[in-house]
Amino acid sequence: MIWLVPAFFVTALLYASVGFGGGSTYNALLVLAGFDYRLLPIVSLCCNVAVVLASTIRFGRAGLVPWKRALILAAVAAPLAYLGGRTQIKEATFLLLLALSLIAAGVALLVPRNQQAQDLPGGLARWMPLAAAPLGFLAGLTGIGGGIFLAPLLHFTRWADARAIAATTSLFILINSLSGLYGQAAKNGTGAFGDALSGALPLLIAVVVGGQIGSLFAIRLLPEKLMRWLTAALTIWAGMRLLLG
C-alpha cells in the first residue's frame, strides 16, 4: 500500500493538469497491488470525485461551464453510469475492458486537438449525446469517469472552445462518478464502501493534493502538451501492464 500513495499522487497530478480525474489509472494501480477487483470501482470513483469536484467548482465560478449543453451530456450518460455500476462482471472481462480502455485513452490523449477541430464540420457536435451514453455505462462498469474519452470527441467535433470543453469534461466526470458510485452501492451494498475505503484514506488525501498541484501546473507552469504526453505515457504503460499480465 505504501507505494500506492505516491503513485496515486502522481496520477492525480498528471490527470488534473489536463482536466481529468484519473479513475482508469487508479484502477490499474489497484489491480497491480492485488486489490479485490469487485471493490476497485468504488475507490477509483471516489478518487475521481475528490479530484474533479474542486475543478468543477472553479470552472463554474469562472463562468466557463456551458451549463445547458454540458448537463445534457451528463443527463444522458448518468443513468447508464448507474446501470454500469449495477452490472455484474467477471474478473477477466473487467481486466480486459480496463486494459483496453487505458490504452485507448492514452492514444486519445496523443491525438492533436487543433488540427482536427479545423478539419471537421461543426455540425457533428449535435450527435455528442449519443456518444455520451456508452461512455457513461463504461464509467460505471469499470470505475472511470469517462471524460478522458469525451474530451477528444468534443475537440474532434468542435463542440466548444478548449476551456469550455475542459469545464464540461470535469462536470461530466463528477456526475458520472457519483452515478456510478450509486450503482456500485446498489450492486454490492453500502457495506462494500466501508470495505473498499477502510484503508484508502491516504489515497484520497494523495489525489486531493496531487489534483490541486496538477491544476496549478496546468494554469501556470508546464506546457499543456507536455502534461498530456506524460499522462498518455502513464496511461498506456498501465494498460499494457494489465494486458500483458
244, exposed or middle or buried, with CB in 10 Å at 0-12, 13-18, 19+? exposed
Domain ranges of the chain: 4-244
CA dihedral 166, 201, 33, 244 (to 10 degrees): -10
pLDDT value, residue 77: 95
pLDDT value, residue 177: 92
**What residue type is 77 in one-letter code?**
A
pLDDT at 114 over 60: no
Angle, alpha carbons 138-181-130 (nearest 5°): 35
pLDDT range class, residue 116, cuts 50, 70, 90? very low
Q: Could you tell me the CA-to-CA distances from 172 to 49, 90, 97, 203 in Å, in that order?
A: 11, 27, 21, 22
Selected residue with higher pLDDT from 149 and 66: 66
Cα(236)–Cα(232) distance, integer angstroms: 6
pLDDT at 119 over 60: no
pLDDT value, residue 239: 86
Select from 82, 102, 81, 94 the least CA-distant residue to 36. Answer: 94
pLDDT value, residue 220: 57
Sign of CA dihedral 7, 8, 13, 16: positive
Averaged pLDDT, 212-239: 75
What DSSP string runs through 112-132? Answer: -HHHHHHHS-GGGGGGHHHHH
Selected residue with higher pLDDT from 170 and 105: 170
What are 32-47's pLDDT values in tens digits?
A: 888 888 888 899 999 9
Q: Cα 52 from chain centroid?
A: 9
Cα(96)–Cα(100) distance, integer angstroms: 6
pLDDT range class, residue 118, cuts 50, 70, 90? very low
pLDDT value, residue 226: 75
pLDDT range class, residue 123, cuts 50, 70, 90? low
Radius of gyration of the chain (CA): 16
What are 130-157's pLDDT values in tens digits?
A: 889 998 998 888 888 888 888 888 887 8
What are 73-106's pLDDT values in tens digits?
A: 999 999 999 999 899 889 899 889 888 888 988 8
Averaged pLDDT, 121-129: 70
pLDDT value, residue 219: 54
pLDDT value, residue 46: 92
Assess contact for 158 and 117: CB atoms under 8 A. yes
pLDDT range class, residue 117, cuts 50, 70, 90? very low
**What residue type is 99 in one-letter code?**
A
